[in-house]
């Protein structure tokens, strides 16, 4: 955490004013993306330097219980959280504001920073603050024409018109169905933003929406519009009784442990593209290859461990995934559906396609208003290098059954092969629809209306019965406690697969990483093995 650069804190005489035995204000820094919890992998956890929502909530809980504390200055610097995470931070600051005076200081008035800061009692900004309130938007680059120019085409079979996975490779522009659903999602996000800010500032939603179209360019304009409560620099918000969080940690009373004998709640993350096999991570930001991947073997093993653990009374499955392998998604779904212990699914930024599939039979589903979910659909496809090979004098030769090579990139599908794949993805889609209908107690006809690959915001998903409640991980843990008959402060633990083998888990993982680095096994150009039928939302919808 960056040191607080305030002049009075750098003086050698840092004693409190006469008669003051404890700091009256504490400075809490917020910076980074705030992942929900530490990675389950020991090596990843060791390398992770980012503060988590879990750690932030623990800090805030200590501040709430400090009787000597009057207020907290929350300093936003380099805050890079996605909207769904910012909404969770808003909830944390809101709980703090119920106990203490909370002032958020924002040098940059951005859409996501304001979501988080709206949980504070007051919002202040320096006179020179950057104001960037242009609403939300997404931008996708379509590669179809570029690939075709170089002799590469892409076959894309999908169910149905809203299923946009792989279209950035097969098309040269965004089709109208995709434009429609993304526009509706953005409108839903801006509506959620307006509700959050309207509630925080005590104005109407129409007034808050007006801030997005009011061409605000300065802190003074934001103050005049009622968006912030004060123009001030940091040194105007603190006094001699203020200390940074790190300087007061020894003043907090240890938390009285809850009755652990009553039981605990397991938290299992499902982060990234869903793939067969074990979870893995590739830090290189490449299409299909980059980022975390949630392996069905790893996630199901963690679920089984939590189900078998006598102390665990409820399970929270934390999903941030656009789906992936239809098979892997179904295997994870099975572990959720067969659990005798209540399973609560909490959706983060994404819980789409396979990421929604795994949630359908949970006892309770919680999503952020900013979550992208739904995408009940199926896709299959492959690149076709026939023209590329001809241009570059490459000549693939075949021996044996052509059907065995139907997924080869050397030629397009035949009519018979295309019909076979369409039948296959139709069967997977029917199963997907049936899972949703049974789990959410909807008719298959209604699920098909909501499906066809269409994405929904968390707010729209609630309206359509695809989820049960708007909230965050804190909400999900409370619902799990209620379902299991546990107190709200019941202990939680990060459930991971049981350790197998004679070596400690981190040694096994290090050996696996070293092996992958040598053999490149971990860098397959297709992360789903031999599978070609996907419940996947592959668009990187990064709102700006």
Condensed to tens digits (0 to 9), the pLDDT of residues 224-277 reads: 999 999 999 999 998 888 998 988 887 776 666 567 678 999 999 999 999 999
Query: Beta partners for 394?
Result: none
pLDDT for the residue numbered 9: 41
35-78 pLDDT tens trace: 998 766 666 666 666 799 999 999 999 999 999 999 999 999 99
pLDDT for the residue numbered 287: 60
C-alpha 424/C-alpha 40 separation (Å) is 35
C-alpha 158/C-alpha 422 separation (Å) is 8
C-alpha 282/C-alpha 197 separation (Å) is 37
pLDDT for the residue numbered 49: 67
Q: Mean pLDDT lowest for which of 32-46, 111-125, 223-237, 496-510? A: 496-510
> DSSP label at 362?
-
pLDDT for the residue numbered 41: 61
Domains of the chain, CATH where assigned: 7-133+216-251 (3.90.226.10), 260-381+425-536 (3.90.226.10)
Rg of the chain over all Cα atoms, to the nearest angstrom? 25
pLDDT for the residue numbered 513: 47
Based on the number of CB atoms within 10 Å of its own CB, is 90 exposed (0-12), middle (13-18) or buried (19 or more)? buried
Please tell me whether the overall predicted TM-score, pTM, comes out greater than 0.85 for this model: yes
C-alpha 323/C-alpha 163 separation (Å) is 13
pLDDT for the residue numbered 172: 96
87-104 pLDDT tens trace: 999 999 999 999 999 999
Written as one string, the DSSP assignment of 208-226 is: HHHHHHS---SHHHHHHHT
Instruction: Name which of 178, 191, 179 is nearest 136 in CA terms.
Output: 191
> DSSP label at 230?
E
Cis peptide before 131 (omega within 30 of 0): no
Alpha helices in 244-337 (DSSP H): 296-308, 326-337
Segment 441-445 mean pLDDT: 98
Query: Would you place residue 282 in the very low, low, confident or very high pLDDT band (cuts 50, 70, 90)?
Result: confident
Written as one string, the DSSP assignment of 140-195 is: ----HHHHHHTT-EEEEEEESTT--TTHHHH-SS--HHHHHHHHHHHHHHHHHHHH
**How many C-alpha atoms does 251 have within 13 Å on its Cβ side?**
19
Statement: residue 510 has pLDDT above 70:
no
- Active site (annotated) includes residue 386: no
Q: Mean pLDDT lowest for which of 31-45, 187-201, 360-374? A: 31-45
pLDDT for the residue numbered 6: 42
Show Cβ contacts of residue 524 under 8 Å, excluding neighbours closer than 6 positions.
Answer: none
Statement: residue 544 has pLDDT above 80:
no
Tokens of 342: 């209540």
Residue 291 has φ and ψ, to the nearest 5°, of: 85, 180
pLDDT for the residue numbered 303: 98
Q: Mean pLDDT lowest for which of 340-344, 450-454, 495-499? A: 495-499
- Check 41, 62, 100, 163 and give the catalytic one: 163
Written as one string, the DSSP assignment of 369-423 is: TT-EEE---EEEEEEE-HHHHHHTT------S-GGGGTT-TTSPPPHHHHHHHHH
- Check 41, 353, 368, 457 and give the catalytic one: 353
pLDDT for the residue numbered 215: 87
C-alpha 390/C-alpha 409 separation (Å) is 13
Segment 514-540 mean pLDDT: 60
Based on the number of CB atoms within 10 Å of its own CB, is 290 exposed (0-12), middle (13-18) or buried (19 or more)? middle
> DSSP label at 413?
P
Statement: residue 503 has pLDDT above 70:
no
- If you average pLDDT over every residue of the chain, what do you get? 89
Tokens of 103: 């002032």
Element (H, E) at 55: helix 53-64
Tokens of 203: 């104005």
pLDDT for the residue numbered 10: 40
pLDDT for the residue numbered 266: 98
Statement: residue 153 has pLDDT above 50:
yes
Element (H, E) at 312: strand 312-321
pLDDT for the residue numbered 537: 80
317-357 pLDDT tens trace: 999 999 999 999 999 999 999 999 999 999 999 999 999 99
pLDDT for the residue numbered 17: 75
- Active site (annotated) includes residue 163: yes
pLDDT for the residue numbered 47: 61
Please state whether beta strands 364-367 and 343-352 pair in parallel, antiparallel, or not at all (unpaired).
Answer: parallel
Segment 166-183 mean pLDDT: 95
Tokens of 296: 């069905």
Residue 169 has φ and ψ, to the nearest 5°, of: -95, -30
């Amino acid at each position: 955490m960056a040191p607080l650069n305030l002049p009075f804190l750098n003086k050698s005489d840092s004693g409190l004013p006469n008669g003051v035995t404890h700091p009256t204000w504490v400075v809490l820094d917020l910076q980074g993306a705030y992942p929900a919890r530490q990675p389950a992998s020991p090596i990843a956890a060791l390398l992770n330097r980012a503060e988590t929502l879990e750690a932030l909530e623990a800090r805030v809980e200590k501040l709430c219980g400090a009787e000597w504390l009057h207020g907290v200055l929350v300093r936003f610097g380099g805050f890079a959280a996605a909207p769904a995470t910012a909404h969770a931070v808003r909830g944390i600051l809101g709980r703090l504001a119920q106990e203490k005076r909370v002032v958020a200081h924002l040098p940059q008035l951005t859409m996501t920073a304001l979501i988080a800061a709206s949980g504070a009692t007051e919002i202040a900004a320096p006179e020179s603050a950057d104001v960037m309130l242009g609403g939300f938007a997404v931008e996708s680059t379509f590669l179809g024409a570029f690939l075709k120019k170089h002799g590469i085409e892409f076959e894309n079979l999908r169910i149905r018109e809203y299923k946009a996975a792989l279209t950035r490779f097969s098309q040269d522009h965004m089709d109208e169905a995709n434009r429609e659903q993304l526009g509706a999602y953005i409108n839903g996000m801006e509506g959620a933003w307006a509700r959050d800010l309207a509630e925080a500032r005590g104005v109407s939603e129409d007034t808050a929406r007006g801030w997005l179209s009011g061409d605000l360019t300065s802190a003074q304009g934001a103050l005049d519009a009622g968006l912030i409560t004060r123009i001030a620099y940091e040194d105007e918000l603190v006094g001699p009784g203020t200390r940074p969080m790190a300087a007061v940690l020894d003043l907090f009373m240890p938390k009285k442990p809850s009755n652990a004998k009553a039981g605990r709640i397991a938290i299992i993350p499902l982060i990234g593209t869903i793939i067969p096999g074990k979870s893995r991570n590739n830090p290189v930001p490449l299409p299909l290859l980059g980022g975390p991947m949630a392996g069905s073997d790893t996630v199901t093993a963690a679920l089984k461990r939590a189900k078998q653990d006598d102390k665990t009374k409820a399970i929270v499955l934390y999903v941030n995934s656009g789906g992936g392998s239809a098979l892997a998604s179904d295997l994870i779904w099975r572990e959720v559906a067969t659990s005798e212990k209540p399973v609560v699914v909490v959706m983060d930024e994404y819980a789409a396609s396979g990421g929604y599939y795994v949630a359908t039979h949970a006892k309770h589903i919680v999503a952020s208003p900013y979550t992208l979910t739904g995408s009940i659909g199926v896709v299959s496809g492959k690149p076709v290098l026939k023209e590329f090979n001809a241009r570059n004098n490459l000549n693939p030769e075949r021996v044996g059954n052509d059907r065995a090579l139907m997924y080869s990139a050397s030629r397009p599908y035949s009519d018979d092969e295309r019909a076979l794949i369409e039948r296959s993805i139709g069967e997977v889609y029917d199963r997907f629809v049936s899972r949703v209908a049974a789990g959410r107690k909807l008719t298959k006809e209604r699920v098909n209306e909501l499906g066809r690959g269409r994405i929904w915001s968390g707010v729209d998903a609630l309206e359509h019965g695809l989820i049960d409640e708007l909230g965050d991980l804190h909400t999900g843990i409370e619902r799990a406690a209620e379902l299991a008959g546990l107190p709200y402060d019941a202990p939680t633990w990060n459930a991971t697969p049981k350790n197998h083998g004679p070596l400690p888990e981190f040694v096994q993982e290090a050996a696996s990483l070293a092996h992958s680095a040598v053999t490149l096994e971990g860098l397959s150009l297709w992360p789903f093995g031999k599978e070609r039928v996907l419940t996947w939302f592959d668009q990187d919808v990064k709102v700006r």
